[in-house]
Amino acid sequence: MHDEFNDVEENEENSNESGESFADLFEESLKGLKAGEVTQGTIVEISHDVVVVDIGYKSEGIISASEFMDNSGELEVKQGDSVDVFIVKSEDKEGKPILSRQRAKGMETWKEVEAAAEAGTVFEGKITDVIKGGYFVDIKGLKAFLPGSQVDLRPVRDMYSLIGKVYDFKILKVDRLKNNIIVSRRALLEESRGEKRQEAIETIKEGDVLNGLVKNITNYGAFLEVKGIDGLLHITDMSWGRVNHPSDVLNVGDEIDVKVLKFDKEKVRLTLGLKQLTPDPWSLAADKYSIGNRVKGKVVSLMDYGFFVELEEGFEGLVHISEMSWTKKVRHPSQIVNEGDEVEVQVLDVDRDSRRISLGLKQIESNPWDLIEENYPIGSRVKGVVKNITDFGLFIGFDEGVDGLVHVSDLSWTKKIKEPSEEYKVGDEVEAVVLAIDRQNDKFSLGIKQLDDNPWDIARKEFKKGTVSTGKVTSITEFGIFVELAEGVEGLIRQSDFGSAQEGNPKDAFKVGDEVTAQVVKVNNKEKRIALSIQAMEEVQEKAAVKEYTEKQGDQSATLGDLLKGKLGGDGE
């Protein structure tokens, strides 16, 4: 006991000699343990879920075993290993330090990242998530930001398709205080492209077939990147056939082989061709298509003026709208065909210089107008069904597919029909006479009134000027009366021609239905009008009476007055 006391006393003396006591040293060790720093420790114990680390403090620190595991879930350390740990807090409520292995690794990574940013070296990372404006990238456990503009040389359509992809990145900016790292993949791609571009400028020549990446599509073509150089593939060089829009042939992101048509080294511009990789179909196929041949193809495009038929790849012909139907008035090709339809057509013309081939669809069928001329000669009587009624007449349908027109003027000899729909209905079966067949203008003219004789032809013979006729009053107007002389034939007696009946209002002198006798004074065959006069008839009758009287009296100078006096005198006698 005495010896132990002496030992302690001796230690205190030694301590006094150095100027520091054991208590002072312990107190100093506590001051050196600061949160936020990395220190070295020794693993003293490993259990199922924790690792105990001695950092020379009054108590060991306990860290979750998961912080020492690799990607496969195996521990990377063993008891006795020295490890760097991050001091989260100098001690907890139990006086034990709170430590972290992962955060110590993060501090190491920060140093590596800072060094890489300064040196311009490359770091590997994995894209983990999509955020507003870009992506999150995992770089050795640190979260970095990858702006959307820095992910590739061209815009990325599907941002989520990059999640999980591992790439090399260049560190653009590091701020450890703000926990901010900004990286770029585009910068590395541009450096690589620059190297390829310089090599390409020296080696590319016209006629080369190279692989290119479609970067952009416009109305007039597509822009490709070929060995770091931008090239234009014009729409006219995409296919030997007609291309409505470049997007019908290519999509952004496509990789295709193209032929170098022209290379301007001074401006570093490429003119590219796609169709030039295949033989010109006109040089091979034009001889196959002789005028009059019937061929089959697929409808590839509809235009207002016709539709295009692909006879073989890159070889198309036009069916003009006028060559689609013998009988129908086609306003748009969609009335006849749809895109994608398989059709049979006839070759009408081949223009090798203009690289055009004209086709006909209606020529595949017999021309119904040939049958119309044969089956329905002019003057023959035909029967058909009313298919359509318009203001100007009726359309009559026939089995041959041709419609005949009965013009409103050919419906009746006598009636003035203003609305044909009041006389006929769609579906009515009618009989008509063939008046004319115009092959050149595809017109088939019919007449219904021609089924009967023209009443005016009869009237012209029967009601000549000077004849006296009797008819019934059909209508009364302020200027005269209309008298029906025969069916469909009327004459007009003007009020001034009423004669002895002209006194007073004509409406008081005549009634509809009255029989009236008058003399024909004028016939207008062109306008189909007959003028009648009661007065003229009466004057003729008077002259005849005077003549008869004078002949009986033997006095040629007798007048109507003498006649009347004689009658009166006779009556007086």
Indicate if the pLDDT at residue 502 is higher than 60.
yes
Of 94, 81, 70, 69, the residue nearest 41 (C-alpha): 81
* Percent of the chain clearing pLDDT 90 (strictly above): 25
pLDDT score recorded for residue 175: 87
Can you tell me the mean pLDDT for 178-202?
82
The band of 217, judged by pLDDT with boundaries at 50, 70 and 90, is very high
Can you tell me the mean pLDDT for 515-534?
85
Contact 199, 227 (CB under 8 A): yes
Whether 332 maps to a domain, the answer reads yes
- Tokens in use for 40? 């070295």
pLDDT score recorded for residue 147: 93
- Tokens in use for 283? 């040089």
- Measured distance CA(452)–CA(450) in Å, rounded: 5
Residues 6+ apart with CB under 8 A from 527: none
Mark whether 143 and 215 lie in a shared domain.
no
Can you tell me the mean pLDDT for 392-417?
84
pLDDT score recorded for residue 167: 93
Indicate if the pLDDT at residue 3 is higher than 60.
no
Indicate if the pLDDT at residue 5 is higher than 50.
no
Residues 6+ apart with CB under 8 A from 436: 378, 443, 444, 445
Mark whether 137 and 181 lie in a shared domain.
yes
The band of 554, judged by pLDDT with boundaries at 50, 70 and 90, is low
- Measured distance CA(193)–CA(153) in Å, rounded: 10
Whether 164 maps to a domain, the answer reads yes
* Percent of the chain clearing pLDDT 70 (strictly above): 89
Of 114, 56, 122, the residue nearest 85 (C-alpha): 56
CA atoms lying within 13 Å on the CB side of residue 306 = 17
Can you tell me the mean pLDDT for 504-511?
73
Residues 6+ apart with CB under 8 A from 25: none
Mark whether 28 and 39 lie in a shared domain.
no
Indicate if the pLDDT at residue 185 is higher than 80.
yes
Query: Is 169 or 503 the better-scoring residue by pLDDT?
Result: 169
* Conformational region of residue 469, where left means phi above 0, alpha means psi within -120 to 50, and beta covers everything else: beta
pLDDT, averaged across the chain: 82
Mark whether 473 and 512 lie in a shared domain.
yes
Whether 194 maps to a domain, the answer reads no
pLDDT score recorded for residue 83: 85
The pTM of the full predicted model, rounded to 2 decimals, is 0.39
Contact 238, 247 (CB under 8 A): no
Domain end position, chosen among 323, 339, 363: 363
Query: Which range, of 7-11, 82-86, 145-149, 179-183, averages the lowest pLDDT?
Result: 7-11
The CATH number linked to 232 is: 2.40.50.140
Q: Which long-range contacts (CB under 8 A, 24 or more apart) does 45-50 make?
A: 45/79, 46/75, 46/77, 46/78, 46/79
The domain containing residue 185 runs over which residues? 120-189
Indicate if the pLDDT at residue 19 is higher than 70.
no
pLDDT score recorded for residue 24: 54
Mark whether 233 and 221 lie in a shared domain.
yes
- Condensed to tens digits (0 to 9), the pLDDT of residues 255-295 reads 999 999 998 888 888 999 999 998 887 776 667 788 888 99
Indicate if the pLDDT at residue 403 is higher than 70.
yes
Q: Could you give the number of structural domains in the chain?
A: 7
pLDDT score recorded for residue 560: 58
Mark whether 212 and 271 lie in a shared domain.
yes
Query: Is 29 or 207 the better-scoring residue by pLDDT?
Result: 207
Mark whether 184 and 212 lie in a shared domain.
no
For strand 166-175 and strand 122-131, is the pairing parallel, antiparallel, or unpaired?
Answer: antiparallel
Mark whether 411 and 481 lie in a shared domain.
no
Indicate if the pLDDT at residue 115 is higher than 60.
yes
Of 81, 95, 88, the residue nearest 53 (C-alpha): 81
Indicate if the pLDDT at residue 400 is higher than 80.
no
Can you tell me the mean pLDDT for 366-377?
80
Domain end position, chosen among 212, 245, 277: 277
Mark whether 76 and 98 lie in a shared domain.
yes
Can you tell me the mean pLDDT for 309-318?
86
Domain end position, chosen among 107, 135, 166: 107
The band of 131, judged by pLDDT with boundaries at 50, 70 and 90, is very high
pLDDT score recorded for residue 101: 80
Whether 548 maps to a domain, the answer reads no
Tell me the torsion sign for CA atoms 513, 514, 518, 521. Answer: negative
pLDDT score recorded for residue 95: 79
The band of 38, judged by pLDDT with boundaries at 50, 70 and 90, is confident
- Measured distance CA(33)–CA(27) in Å, rounded: 11
pLDDT score recorded for residue 111: 82
Whether 556 maps to a domain, the answer reads no
- Measured distance CA(17)–CA(26) in Å, rounded: 17
- Tokens in use for 332? 């748009």
Of 33, 24, 31, the residue nearest 60 (C-alpha): 33
Mark whether 426 and 488 lie in a shared domain.
no
- Measured distance CA(44)–CA(528) in Å, rounded: 133
Indicate if the pLDDT at residue 516 is higher than 60.
yes
Contact 437, 372 (CB under 8 A): yes
With residue 135 as reference, give the H or E element that holds it: strand 134-139
Whether 227 maps to a domain, the answer reads yes
Contact 297, 270 (CB under 8 A): no
Whether 197 maps to a domain, the answer reads no
pLDDT score recorded for residue 489: 82
pLDDT score recorded for residue 284: 67
Whether 53 maps to a domain, the answer reads yes
Contact 437, 373 (CB under 8 A): yes
DSSP per-residue letters across 390-423: ETTEEEEE-TTSPEEEEEGGGS-SS---S-GGGT
> 74, exposed or middle or buried, with CB in 10 Å at 0-12, 13-18, 19+?
exposed
- Condensed to tens digits (0 to 9), the pLDDT of residues 242-263 reads 788 999 999 998 999 999 999 8
Mark whether 330 and 357 lie in a shared domain.
yes
Mark whether 447 and 373 lie in a shared domain.
yes
pLDDT score recorded for residue 425: 92
